[in-house]
Structure 1
Amino acid sequence: MRSASGGGPFAALKSIPITLLTMAQTRLQLLGNELLTEKNLALRQLSLVLAMVACAGLGLLLAVVLALSLLWEQRVLVLSLLSVLFLGAAAGCYAALRRTTRSSEGVFASSLAELQEDLRQLKAAAEHGQKSP
């Protein structure tokens, strides 16, 4: 009797499930790493946005009260200028936030690239297997 480690077509067939399971495990680990990375990025962005909004809101409120106190006679002009300034700052923050969301390369990009490479290699191996009788 021949052992499975001795070679031959049956030994190769027996190793296919092990290879497939190993590939699946690697891909799942990569997927888990990508999920963790994306979650951490989203939480960091959310906490920064919340801190920015809280600090900016309090700072702006205090700045408006100070400007109105100092320039009470020109309060309409001061409120108009500050409103334009705040709306411009909000538009700038919105544009910056849009840039950060567009710059990411997409969720699971590494996993998809690895799966495409696996598929390419499997197709190449299948074509090679069909050519040799």
Structure 2
Amino acid sequence: MTRPSADPGTAARVRGLLADVFELAQVRLELFTVEARQELSRLTWMAVMAALAVVFVSFGLIFLAIFLTVLLWDTQRLLALGVFTTLFLGGGLVLAGLAWQRARQGARMFAATRDELRRDQERLRP
């Protein structure tokens, strides 16, 4: 007794379906790669600009504090030093709190890739 062979049309359709799935996965991975490169570029630029901003603002504040302290040296030097110490420490604590809050919120990285994968899942569900 011979077994009935599988329909060649069915095998071709399964191969075509698998080819489509692999092509879809490849496109999604390429989108992920492009987004990763863009995000890395953006983060690098932000880090460089932030570092430069911190350096320049720090030097500016230090020189301003020194200038005003020297200006008030004969009359109110302790008051000037106390005010600048309070300003620098208070500002640093406020900024550290804001940075901590932002870090806890997290970023929505690779949003387009996740949205496309979600749409793909919805299309494939019966």
TM-score (norm. length: structure 2)? 0.75
Paired residue for 2:119? 117
Aligned to 1:107, the other structure's residue is in SS state: coil
Q: How does 1:23-102 map to 2 (within 5 A)?
A: 23-73=24-74, 74-95=76-97, 97=99, 101=103
Aligned-pair Cα RMSD in Å: 2.3
- Aligned residue type for 1:38: E
Aligned equivalents of 2:98, 2:44: Cα separation in 1? 17
Deviation at 1:52, TM superposition (A): 1.7
Aligned equivalents of 2:16, 2:78: Cα separation in 1? 81
Divergent runs of 4+, >6 A: none
TM-score (norm. length: structure 1)? 0.72
In the alignment, structure 2 segments of 5+ residues that lack a partner are 1-8
Aligned equivalents of 1:83, 1:121: Cα separation in 2? 61
In the alignment, structure 1 segments of 5+ residues that lack a partner are 1-7, 125-133
Query: Which gives a bigger RCO, structure 1 or 2 (Cα 8 Å, sep 6+)?
Result: 2
Aligned equivalents of 2:43, 2:95: Cα separation in 1? 17
Paired residue for 1:19? 20
C-alpha distance 88-80 of structure 1, shift in aligned 2 (>3 A): same
- Aligned residue type for 1:13: V
Deviation at 1:87, TM superposition (A): 2.4
- Aligned residue type for 1:114: E
